[in-house]
Amino acid sequence: MDSITFRLNGTEVTITSPGTRRLLDVLREDFSMTAAKEGCGEGECGACSVLKDGRVVNSCMVPVGSIQGCEIVTLEGLRESEQGKRIIDAFVQSGSVQCGFCTPGMVMAAASLLAEHPRPSEAEVREGLSGNLCRCTGYDAIVRGVILASREGEGL
């Protein structure tokens, strides 16, 4: 068992856990934060995306022992921020959501992308979301949602 301290959605937390446990399981089981989903368990689909020090990561591939001192943001935290609200609202307005299972991960990937490219081109959006799989939408409406969020971020 290791004692691991990190910041979770702005609050410092300490857990006692084997360091090899997946961050995804720690979030879902220890903190009841279920916005991050398990779609594949091998870092291919992005449904478990969270932000680690501002960059999007697949939480199923992150051993919790590696996040000592890190800042982790999940959708539970992001949705309280202005940026999170803007992305979620843009997704609702753009018809970006169908079954919804990939959507939390898409929102996290969008947040990471917009932090880096506040006004991305369509190609940059597609590149930025390429680690997140969706089987329902064919992606177009998600790409439009991210572009709408970026424009609203600038007050249109």
Interface map 88-117 toward another protein (x if CB under 8 A): x--xxx-xxxxxxxxxx--x----------
Q: What angle do CA 151, 58, 34 make, to 5 degrees?
A: 85
Q: What angle do CA 64, 69, 74 make, to 5 degrees?
A: 60
Q: Given the complex with another protein, which of 35 and 69 has the nearer CB atom?
A: 35
Give the N- to C-terminal CA distance of the chain in Å, as an integer.
50
Contact between 75 and another protein by CB under 8 A: the answer reads yes
Give, to the nearest 10 degrees, the angle between helix 103-116 and helix 140-153. Answer: 40
- Return the SS3 of 73: strand
Q: Given the complex with another protein, which of 69 and 138 has the nearer CB atom?
A: 138
Contact between 50 and another protein by CB under 8 A: the answer reads no
The residue ranges that bind another protein (CB under 8 A) are 28, 32, 34-42, 44-45, 47, 74-76, 79, 87-88, 91-93, 95-104, 107, 122, 125-127, 129-143
